[in-house]
Structure 1
Amino acid sequence: MLLKMDFLFAFTVFAMVMTVVEGQTTEDDWRMNKKKFNKNYFIPADNGKLDRIHKQIFIKRNEQIKLHNSNPFANYRREVTLFSDMLLEEFQKFLGVNKNAIPPHTKQAVSLKPDGSDITDPDVPSRLDYRFDPCLPDIKNQNRCRASWAFSATTPIEFALCKLNKNISVTLSEQQLIDCDRGGLNKGCYGGFPMTAIESTMLTGIARESRYSYKKTGGQCKYVANMKAASVELCNYIEGGSIVDMKYALTKLGPISATMTVTDSFADYGSGVYDSNDCDGQDPNHAVVIVGWGNQNGMDYWIGRNSWGPLWGEEGYFLIQQGVNKCGIETYPVFVKLS
């Protein structure tokens, strides 16, 4: 009887210790998160309410991240990111495509081959990766401006212009698109669509970043004709779902613009091939750039370029499952060609 009581006492003490340790671990994780991302939610007037709200979001997401990563068969890993404690309305500021910005119709796709013949597998290599190409600029950061559409539009143009200029790298102005391309569906830091942004450069041209720098917010249009650094001759959709056509465009013309649906699991992406199902079948809310493709452990993937800075994902890039229209990334691919 005494041994049984001793055992129960020891078990109770152990349980109490573990509860305290787990509590400390949660607090430590929360403090480390705020320190890492330089966040301070304390407002004297609300007695810590805002901090508690974000803390609860973080605790839930942190548990989801740890649970996901505990699965040895997961094809990608999640990690705590800048977004892991954000309210939905806060996170949406880092996106940039909304349902109202999607054009009511798509152009009829044009033939990508000069002779008009069908594209076949022999026309494209087994893998392609532009991440280390001298014509792909460093990863950019849109910050709290819903303008991923503008960043998705400029990158293919930057790459094509660099190739025309014998690999002399150039960065172009997203700010010009944000400020000046407001005649239609694009609404500056309130969302837009990359195809319409690219089309606008066919009419006006686009300036270099050095002449029209990024302000993280919308403003009055300051673009004038003598700022023009590039002019798009042709842009068009690649037939949705045609993987070989997308690969051909990437091979012959360079990176392509794309849109996709982003959810919490993608916001917390760390590495590997993203294949979550929680983003499928929804309207796109974010714009990215596809810069290549490959295969990992038998799974084909696209290489995506994001506009959330180099500290997110794989130094600003991500891998996403190919061939199944994961997150809708194969629905609105756009190529560009410069004159």
Structure 2
Amino acid sequence: MFLTLLSQSHVCRPSHGYAARNNHLWNSFKVRFNKTYDSLQDQVRESVFMRNMRRITLHRSRYRAQLESFDVDMNYFTDWVSSDAYMNHFAVWLQSERIQMLGIKRSERLPEDTWTDYNIPSEAPTSLINVSIPDTLDWRQRGAVTRVKNQGKCGSCWAFATVGAVESHHFLRSEQLVELSEQNLLDCDRTDAACHGGDVFRAYRFMTRQGGVDTALSYPYHFFPERCHFSPQAVGARVLGFRQLPSADEVLLKAVVATRGPVTAVMDATIDLFAYKRGVLSVKNCSNTTANHGVIIIGYGTEAGMEYWLVKNSWSAKWGDEGYFKIQRNVNMCGIATNVTYPIVGDVDIDES
């Protein structure tokens, strides 16, 4: 399949100057992002890269003309994800790398498709009706959000999306911003599949039954699963349970984010998200019922007349808008409001020694 694609790509040969510019761009990209390939991979990757760069260039021109609500740019993923339909072995090879940067194994909800409490006293959602909330909110400005992390080539977004929410809720309860261990979940949560994906509900159940989650300092992230060495003495946050919101209720979701704190959400991560740079993501080529990526909603607002959710990702601070993105609000864009949960945390003594 590779040879067929490559031979077809040389049917119409570009001019020498055009080819030289493309080759320079490709080589500069590899140096910038520390990419190395064997000769066959290099040709295939360059073909994907150039196709995506044409797509990025077209989108950026539309963004400058105010025909798009978000901007895109070259990044680490530009030679990973094909904008064409995946096909045969060529497709599987590229798609498998895309999955590595995602990690939601399934998109099921708890049996009740309503406001649901797990292992905690029930609270009626009516308690949030008519509550005064701000028009714009960013929990970073209140010191409630840890730095952007990097899941690497591991489908562990489910761990980052849940642990990150626990970090924020622990801060809101204790005024201590403690980085917690996603590796603890990769190694010890046998109900999920580590780098092969997981489920946010199972992750929250696991942290509840384990009694919390260790600090990142005591249990650092290594990008792949290892032997479990959870230590109760190193617990950085205690998880009592979690709450699931009604599906696609973005009015209630706004109230929860404003009054309770950041929440875990799962969504359909599209090709456009991989290339995202700034602005409000609004696309047609995504699903609001199928999820493959876990993220954290940390705020909301309005930009250029479009309402948005402010979202923390786990693809490093070099991706997107310093590791964050905005996505259109009140239309359940890419299913961002379909499956939403947040943790309930308790007190814990942190060993500062």
Q: Does 1:34 align with 2:30?
A: yes
TM-score normalised to structure 1 length: 0.87
Cα distance in 2 for partners of 1:132, 1:59 equals: 39
Q: Does 1:214 align with 2:215?
A: no
Cα distance in 2 for partners of 1:215, 1:283 equals: 29
What is the letter of the counterpart of residue 53 of structure 1? V
Q: Which of 336, 339, 347 is the aligned partner of 1:332?
A: 339
SS of the aligned residue for 2:134 comes to coil
Q: Does 1:142 align with 2:136?
A: no
Deviation at 1:104, TM superposition (A): 6.6
2:20 aligned partner: 24
Cα distance in 2 for partners of 1:253, 1:213 equals: 28
1:5 aligned partner: none
Contact 1:249 1:335 in 2 (8 A): no
1:174 aligned partner: 182
Deviation at 1:272, TM superposition (A): 0.4
Number of matched residues?
A: 313
1:84 aligned partner: 78
Contact 2:296 2:313 in 1 (8 A): yes
2:52 aligned partner: 61
Deviation at 1:106, TM superposition (A): 4.8
1:199 aligned partner: 205
Where does structure 1 differ by over 6 angstroms across 4 or more consecutive aligned residues?
none
1:7 aligned partner: none
Cα distance in 2 for partners of 1:27, 1:119 equals: 57
Contact 1:121 1:244 in 2 (8 A): no
* Structure 1 pair 134–338 and aligned structure 2 pair: CA distance change class (3 A): same
What is the letter of the counterpart of residue 241 of structure 2? L
How do 1:197-276 and structure 2 match up within 5 A? 197-204=203-210, 205-276=212-283
2:83 aligned partner: none
SS of the aligned residue for 1:333 comes to strand
Q: Does 1:188 align with 2:194?
A: yes
Contact 2:104 2:199 in 1 (8 A): yes
2:102 aligned partner: 95
Contact 1:146 1:191 in 2 (8 A): yes
* Structure 1 pair 120–165 and aligned structure 2 pair: CA distance change class (3 A): closer
Contact 1:149 1:286 in 2 (8 A): yes
Cα distance in 2 for partners of 1:79, 1:247 equals: 30
1:74 aligned partner: 68
2:141 aligned partner: 132
What is the letter of the counterpart of residue 149 of structure 1? W
Contact 1:176 1:221 in 2 (8 A): yes
Contact 1:94 1:144 in 2 (8 A): yes
Cα distance in 2 for partners of 1:338, 1:145 equals: 27
Q: Which of 135, 149, 153 is the aligned partner of 2:162?
A: 153
Deviation at 1:303, TM superposition (A): 0.4
What is the letter of the counterpart of residue 57 of structure 1? V
* Structure 1 pair 113–120 and aligned structure 2 pair: CA distance change class (3 A): farther
Deviation at 1:197, TM superposition (A): 0.6
Contact 2:115 2:125 in 1 (8 A): no
TM-score normalised to structure 2 length: 0.84
Report which stretch shifted further, 155-164 or 169-178: 155-164
Report which stretch shifted further, 103-112 or 240-249: 103-112
Contact 1:253 1:336 in 2 (8 A): no
Q: Does 1:296 align with 2:303?
A: yes
Deviation at 1:179, TM superposition (A): 0.7
Taking every aligned residue pair, what percent have the same amino acid on both sides? 28
Cα distance in 1 for partners of 2:22, 2:252 equals: 48
What is the letter of the counterpart of residue 153 of structure 2? R
Contact 2:139 2:298 in 1 (8 A): yes
Cα distance in 1 for partners of 2:130, 2:297 equals: 19
Cα distance in 1 for partners of 2:54, 2:311 equals: 26
Cα distance in 2 for partners of 1:27, 1:121 equals: 59
1:3 aligned partner: none
